[in-house]
Copies of this chain bind each other. A is one copy, B any other.
Amino acid sequence: MKHRRFFTDLCLSAIILVWSASVPGEMTGNQNNPAGRDIMAQVSTIGSLMAGNYDGLYSIGELLRHGDFGLGTVHSLDGELIVLDGKAYQVRIDGAVHDVPHDMKTPFASLTWYDLDETIEAPAGELASLIMFLDNHINKDLFYAIRIAGEFDFVKTRSVTDRKPYSPLVEVVKTQAVFERGKCRGVLIDLYCPPFAQGINVPGHHFHFLSEDKTFGGHVLDLKISKATIGLDVTRELFLMLPEGFNAGDADKEDLERIEKGTK
C-alpha cells in the first residue's frame, strides 16, 4: 500500500504541475485566452461602440482572464469601467463607484497584465504637460499600459449611460454627468494606442481615474498633478475579440475627439 500511495501522490503532483502550466492557454467557449502577459486584449472596436452597440458581449469574469489593468464600459453603457489590480469597478452616471459583478458583460474594454517596465516621476501640472511628457518617453508606435499613482490637486471626470433604443456615443456624451474632486490620492489608468490602431481603439492616451478610497472616478476630462509616479508597461501584442454578426460602425475622427474630451 505504501507504493500505491507514493505513485498516486506522484501522479497527482505531476498532473497538477502540468495542468497549472496549461491554464493560461485554456479556452472558454469561443473566447481564446492568449498565453502571454504583454498583450493588449480588447473586446470590440471603438467604431462599433460609437455606433451605439452597447449590449454586453463578454462577461467581466472572462475579461479578467486577459489582464488586471484596463478600461472600457459595461452593458448598456452603464458607466465607465476601470480595471485596477485585477478588480473591476464601474463609475455610474450618479458618480458612485461600484464593484462590477463578474457576470456583468462589457460591449467594449481593453486590458493587459500590468508588468512594470520602467518608473519615472510625473511632471507636476496640467493634463497637457503630462501627455507631452509621456509622449517623449514612449515608442508611439506601440501599445502601453500606463499607471500614474499619487497626489492630484484636482481631477475632473465624467460618466455616461444609455438605454434602448441606444443612441450613437457622440449623442450620449451630450448628456454626460461631470464630477470634480479637489486634492485627492488615486490612480490614473492610461491605455496608449498607436495611430495605426485608430479604427480599433482611441488613438493616443485614454485616461480613467480611481481615487484611493474608491469613492470617486470615471473618464478623465481634466486634472492637475501634485506629485505622482508613472509606471510604464510596453505591450507589443494585440488580441482583438469580435462578436458574431459584428457591426464595426465608423470611428469618425471629429466625433471621437468630441467623445473623448466631452465637448459638444
Which chain B positions have C-beta within 8 A of A212?
A: none
**Smallest beta-carbon distance A235→chain B, Å:** 9
The 8 Å CB contact of A39, one of B3, B25, B32, is B32
Q: Is A184's beta carbon under 8 Å from chain B? A: no
Q: Is A130's beta carbon under 8 Å from chain B? A: no
B237 close to A241 (CB less than 8 A): yes
Report the nearest B residue to A19, measured CB to CB: B18
- CB-CB contacts below 8 Å: A98-136 with B: none
Given the contacts A18-B22, A199-B198, A141 and B248 also touching, CB distance less than 8 Å = yes
Which chain B positions have C-beta within 8 A of A246?
A: 139, 141-142, 236
Measured as residues with beta carbon below 8 angstroms from the partner, the interface class of chain A is 35 or more
Given the contacts A27-B36, A199-B199, A242 and B236 also touching, CB distance less than 8 Å = yes
* Complex Cα spacing A238 to B25, Å: 16
Interface pairs A-B: 3 shortest CB-CB: A25-B25, A22-B22, A32-B36
B243 close to A236 (CB less than 8 A): yes
Which chain B positions have C-beta within 8 A of A237?
A: 32, 239-242
Q: Is A56's beta carbon under 8 Å from chain B? A: no
Of A6-14, A73-81, A86-94, A174-182, the one contacting chain B is A6-14
Q: Which of A30, A196, A244, A245 has the most CB of B within 10 A?
A: A196
Which chain B positions have C-beta within 8 A of A11?
A: 7, 10-11, 14-15
Q: Is A247's beta carbon under 8 Å from chain B? A: yes
Q: Is A251's beta carbon under 8 Å from chain B? A: yes
Report the nearest B residue to A197, measured CB to CB: B199
Given the contacts A15-B18, A237-B239, A35 and B36 also touching, CB distance less than 8 Å = no
- CB-CB contacts below 8 Å: A187-244 with B: 194-200, 236-244
